[in-house]
Amino acid sequence: MVLHRKALESQLVSVLQGCTNLKKVKEVHAHIYRNDLHQCSYVITKLIRVLTVLHVPVESYPRLVFSQVQNPINPFLWTALVRGYALKGPLSEAFRLYASMRTEGIGPVSFMFSALFTACGAARDATLGAQVHAQTVLVGGFESDLYVNNTMINMYVKCGSLHCARKVFDEMSERDVVSWTELIVAYAKTGDMGSAQELFDGLNVKDMVAWTAMVTGYAQNAMPKKALEFFERLQNEGMEADEVTLIGAISACAQLGASKYANWIRDIAENSRFEPAKSVLVGSALIDMYSKCGNVEEAHNVFARMKQRNVFSYSSMIAGFAMHGRAHAAIELFYEMLKTETKPNHVTFLGVLTACTHAGMVEQGQRVFETMEKCYGVAPTADHYACMADLLGRAGHLEKALQLVQTMPMEPNGGVWGALLGASHIHKNPDVAEVASSHLFDLEPDNIGNYLLLSNTYASAGRWDDVSRVRKLIKEKNLRKNPGCSWVEAKNGMVHEFFADDATHPEIGEIKKALDDLMERLKGIGYQPNLSSVPYDIGDEEKKRLLMAHSEKLALAYGLLGTDPGSTIKIMKNLRICEDCHIVMCGASKITGRKIVVRDNMRFHHFLNGACSCSNFW
Of residues 72 and 351, the one with the C-beta less far from DNA? 351
Judged by CB under 7 A, which of 13, 50, 77, 185 binds DNA?
185
Of residues 32 and 210, the one with the C-beta less far from DNA? 210
Question: Residue 353 in contact with residue 388, Cβ under 8 Å?
Answer: yes
Judged by CB under 7 A, which of 35, 195, 220, 221 binds DNA?
220
Residues 548-567 that bind DNA (CB under 7 A): none
Question: Residue 604 in contact with residue 578, Cβ under 8 Å?
Answer: no
Helices (H), 257-310: 259-270, 280-292, 296-305
Identify which range of 29-37, 136-144, 149-157, 530-538 contacts DNA by CB under 7 A: 149-157
Residues 22-51 that bind DNA (CB under 7 A): none
Cα distances (angstroms) measured from residue 339 to each of 191, 343, 436:
40, 9, 40
Residues 469-528 that bind DNA (CB under 7 A): none
Judged by CB under 7 A, which of 45, 181, 457, 613 binds DNA?
181
Identify which range of 65-73, 92-100, 345-353, 498-506 contacts DNA by CB under 7 A: 345-353
Best CA proximity match to 420, nearest among 458, 394, 441: 394
**How does DSSP assign 401-463, residue by residue?**
HHHHHHH-SS---HHHHHHHHHHHHHTT-HHHHHHHHHHHHHH-TT-HHHHHHHHHHHHHTT-
3-state secondary structure of 180: helix
Judged by CB under 7 A, which of 75, 418, 529, 559 binds DNA?
418
Identify which range of 6-14, 50-58, 276-284, 493-501 contacts DNA by CB under 7 A: 276-284
| Site for DNA contains 212 (CB under 7 A) | yes
Q: Are strands 569-573 and 596-599 parallel, antiparallel or unpaired?
A: parallel
| Site for DNA contains 183 (CB under 7 A) | no
Of residues 26 and 305, the one with the C-beta less far from DNA? 305
Preceding amide of 90 cis, omega within 30: yes
Of residues 257 and 484, the one with the C-beta less far from DNA? 257
Question: Residue 558 in contact with residue 570, Cβ under 8 Å?
Answer: no
| Site for DNA contains 588 (CB under 7 A) | no
As a whole number of angstroms, the distance between CA 306 and CA 281 comes to: 10
Nearest distance from C-beta of residue 196 to DNA, angstroms: 11
The DSSP output letter for 531 is G
| Site for DNA contains 456 (CB under 7 A) | no
Identify which range of 59-67, 346-354, 457-465, 534-542 contacts DNA by CB under 7 A: 346-354
Angle at CA of residue 381, ends 375 and 387, nearest 5°? 90
As a whole number of angstroms, the distance between CA 8 and CA 2 comes to: 10
Please work out the total of residues on this chain that contact DNA, with binding judged by CB under 7 A: 71
> Any idea how long the chain is?
618
| Site for DNA contains 429 (CB under 7 A) | no
Of residues 283 and 365, the one with the C-beta less far from DNA? 283
Judged by CB under 7 A, which of 136, 161, 259, 348 binds DNA?
348
Residues 160-179 that bind DNA (CB under 7 A): 177-178
Nearest distance from C-beta of residue 131 to DNA, angstroms: 19
**How does DSSP assign 71-96, residue by residue?**
S---HHHHHHHHHHHHHH--HHHHHH
Window 355-394: contact mask with DNA (x via CB under 7 A): --x-------------------------x--xx--x----
Residues 48-107 that bind DNA (CB under 7 A): none
Longest dimension (CA), the chain: 101
| Site for DNA contains 118 (CB under 7 A) | yes
The DSSP output letter for 493 is S
| Site for DNA contains 440 (CB under 7 A) | yes
| Site for DNA contains 243 (CB under 7 A) | yes
Judged by CB under 7 A, which of 95, 98, 303, 417 binds DNA?
417
**Within a 13 Å sphere around the CA of 503, how many CA atoms are in the beta-carbon half?**
1
| Site for DNA contains 319 (CB under 7 A) | yes
Of residues 387 and 569, the one with the C-beta less far from DNA? 387
| Site for DNA contains 315 (CB under 7 A) | yes
If residue 605 lies in a helix (H) or strand (E), which one and from where to where? Answer: strand 604-608
Cα distances (angstroms) measured from residue 227 to each of 90, 212, 219, 271, 608:
39, 9, 5, 20, 35
